[in-house]
A and B are shown apart, each in its own frame.
Chain A
Amino acid sequence: MPFPIQFRGHSHILGIYSSPQRKIEEGLEYLRIGFEENNEAIVMITDELTKDEVRSEIINKWKISKNELEDLERKSIINIKSGEEIYFPSTIIDHEKTIKQFSDIAYASIKKGKKRLRVFADTKIFFEREHEDHLIEYEKSPPHLFDFPLTGLCAYDLDDFVKLDHTSRKILFDHHNLYLTNNAFRSIFDISDNTSAILSEHICMFYEDNRLQNSSSLSIPIITDSILRYIDEGLLQNQLCVYLSIYNMKKEYEKNIISQISNKDSSIYNNFMLVPDTDRYYINAVCENLTPFEDLKKLIFAKAILGNKKNIRIVCDIPDFLFKNKHFDQSVALEEWWNETLEDLNKRHGLNVSLLCLYHSNNSQKRPYQFHRHRINDNHTIICDVNGIIQSKYSDNDSLIEKREKNDVTKMKGKKGDVVE
C-alpha cells in the first residue's frame, strides 16, 4: 500500500522529491501520522525551515496547542533539529554517535508510553557541505545499529539525487526497504527508464469531463492527449500496451483509437492490446467478481512471455465508472486488486508493469465523492492531472516554503519603504 499508510513497524524509506516544498509537506504529514495516529515520538531534521517555522506548521495543522508543543518538546516526544545539530555536532563526523542519539530518544519515549520513534531526515546538508560520501557511508550503516524501534524517511532533493553516481544510487536503493519516487518528478512524462522502480507505478490521472450534458455526447469516448502520449511512448519503446476502457464496448473503437496513435508501424498490432467485452468487466466488478480481471492478468502475462516483453503499460477506466456510479467499495476493491496484481507481476515475475487509471474530477469536491477520493488516492503511487503533472495526495497544497518566500519578499519590500502591493 502506498504512502502514508504503509509505514507500520520498522521501515527505512527512501524519499526523492522534485522540490523542497513537496519534501517538507510530505515530511510533516509523515510525522503527523506517526504522532497522531500511531502514538510515536518524532524527530524532524531539516534546514529548509527554521525551528519556529516548523513549530508554527505543527501548531496550525496538528491537534496541539503552543503550550502542548512546548511540553512535548521538553519531554523529547517531538524533536525539531537542524541538520548541523544531528549530523555535524563537531568537526568529526561519527555515524554511530548519530544513530545512538536516535536510539536514546526512542527508548526514552517508549518509557513515556510511545510505540517507537519516527524520523524525517532531510539530507540536503550533506550535499551543501559536499559530504555526499559521508552520507552514503551513513546510509550503509550495518542493520544491527538500527536495531531499536525506529522508522525513518531519508529525504533527498531530486537535484541532489541525480548528482550521485550510479553506485551510490544503487547503495541507497539497496539499503532502504521502501522507495518514494512519486515525488521525484514534476510530470509522469518526465519519468525515464533510468530507474527501474519508476516503471512500475500505479498512476491516477484526474481529468475534467467537459462534454455537454446530453446523452449522445456522453457516449463519445474520452481519449485525452495524455493517454495517447502514454500509449505512444510505450509503443515507441516496444512495450506491450493494454487498453481496458469501458468505451471498448463501442463498435469499431479499436480502429478509432489506433487512428489517433502517432506511432503506427507494423508492431502496433502486436504491441497494442484493446480488451473487448468490457461490459462484462464492469458488471462483474459491481458484483464483486473479479474473475474477468484475473483472466486478463493471465492473458497479459502470456502475451508478455510469448512476445518477450518486460515492460508493460496498462490504461484502465473501469474503476472510474464504478466510482462515478457510487460503487465506491467495488472501485476500491478493484484498485486494491490492481495493486496486488502489479506487485505479483513486478516482484514475482520480474516484469515492469505500470498502470494508468483515469478518473474524472467533476464530482471530486462533492459529497460523498470527496471523502471516498481519499481511498482512491491512497491506492495509487502517483496522482496527476490531465497533463500528467504530479499532484500532492493531500488537499492542502499551500506550500510552506513558497509562503515563507512570499512573506520574506513582502517584509523586504516593507523595509525598503517601497509600495507594498
Chain B
Amino acid sequence: MKTKKFILLLTFIFTGTLLFAVKPEKVRSLSLGLGLGQNSRQDLIFSPFVHHEFSLLNGTINYSIHGRFFQQVKIGIATFDPMLKEPYNYSEDGEVKTAAPHYLLYLDLDYLLGKKIKKTGKTDLTVGGMLGTNTQSLNYVYGRIGYFGYFSAINLGMFGQFGIPTQNGNGVFFKLQLPFVSWLARSPYLVNDDEFIENISSHSGIKTFFAFLKDGKPATWNTVQQVDAEVKYLFSLTSKWGMGISGAYEFTRASQPRLLNSHRTSVNVSATLKF
C-alpha cells in the first residue's frame, strides 16, 4: 500500500509540474556534449574493491526552455570498463582466453522545472523540482564468468542553479541537484538470488527491466544519497549557435542491500543550438 501511494505521489507531482510548466514565450536550446569521464565505484554486491576508470565515452543531450519558467530535459550516458589489473590470458580446457574488464553503463534522464527566484546585479538564482532516473547497468566479469547487475533510482527532489549570466543565455552557471525520495531497485545481496532469476525468467529484456523496477522499494535520504553538481560556461559563436564547457560530478551512495559508493566526474565540450 505504501508503495502504491509513493508511485501515486510521484505521478501526481510530475503530471502537475508538466501542466504547470506549459507557458508561452520561451527561448529554447538544444545542446550536445561530449567529453571525458572518470569513475570510482565500490559496490559490495559485486566486489570489495574500488574500480577506477577513465572513459572517452561520455555524452549528454540537453533540451532547455528559458521562459517564465526554466525547464530542462537532460539525457546523460557514460560507459566505463574498469579492471583491477590489466587484462591477462589464462587457459581453460587447453584454450587460451583473455580475462575481460567489467563493463558499466550509466544512463541518466532528468527533467527539471524551476523559476528564477532572485536576480541581483550580475547574478541570478533559479530553483525548482526535479524528476529523474539514475540507472546503472552493470556487467561484472570474473574471468570465465560474468554477471549482470543493476542500480536504478527514480528520483524526486530539488535543484538550484546559480548563474552569472551575460546575455542571450550565456555565462557561467553552477547547478546542484538533490534527490530526496527515490524508487530504488538494485541487484540482490549476492548478485543472483531466486527473485533475480524469476525476474529474468520472462526472457524478454523489457519485461525483465520492469520486473527489476517492480522489485524496487521507496528510499529516502537515509538509505540512498545522490548528488549531481555541474558547472558550465556558455558562450555564443553566432546568434543561433553557441559552445560550452562543463564539468559535472555525480555521487551515489546506497546502503541496502550492500554498500555502494560511486563517484563520477566528467568534463564535456558542448555545441548549442538556440531557437
Do A and B actually bind?
Answer: no
Spell out B's residues near A (CB within 8 Å): none
Q: Which residues of A contact B (CB under 8 A)?
A: none
